[in-house]
Structure 1
């Protein structure tokens, strides 16, 4: 049995979704040299947001962590459609944006949803540099958004 990223996703009970259509004038991912830069991914499933609102006021930190995992899954779909997941050498950088209610300071725990997925799929190659940033608003009132930079072969 393959130990590749698609097999790891299957072991986790996950399948790659269709690549989310851009909401404005950009592409989901672009390759430059040995890096793929993935545009910010929202927690979309079948073209619809899985939740809206602020984390800490209407969206729990645990729910937001699950939504961050969905953002990461959408990022993997964008990478797969551009170059194929089997070409990923390293998840280099993850930036997570969390639409935060006043006083909410659990952004790192929320963004762990994305980080943990990358670790589960890529092992050591899934360990990455990261920022977890609280913001006032995100597109479409999404609670979370994730962008990724990966190194590819």
Structure 2
């Protein structure tokens, strides 16, 4: 069975709602043979990354950059991930209050350095998530999970 690792930092109700939509998409009834593991960014380990076949990363945009928790996740997993997980599929989402562009650039730069292969358009938005944002989050989770079906 394939494993999808969802790593997130969800300190607000808005981010929690987006996370729940991503997880619902990844666990949709039509997704078969994919185990979905959800880890908070500060708890996710190198072993979690190496055991996964694909990834969804979720973060807030804080002061124009990734959350400290997601940055920490990449700091502790980058070397092992870039050596052993190249070309694995991933997607990501970024939620902010005023600007997500710095966090988006960081996410693209870091994941390019790791060598992951983006398989879904990123979900990046400002303000409260509406129905369209939550539908896009569900689609993001389902799309990444579907790439892992065997």
TM-score of the superposed pair, with normalisation by structure 2 = 0.37
Larger Rg, first or second structure (1 or 2) = 1
Which one has a larger percent helix, Structure 1 or Structure 2? 2
More strand as a share of residues? 1
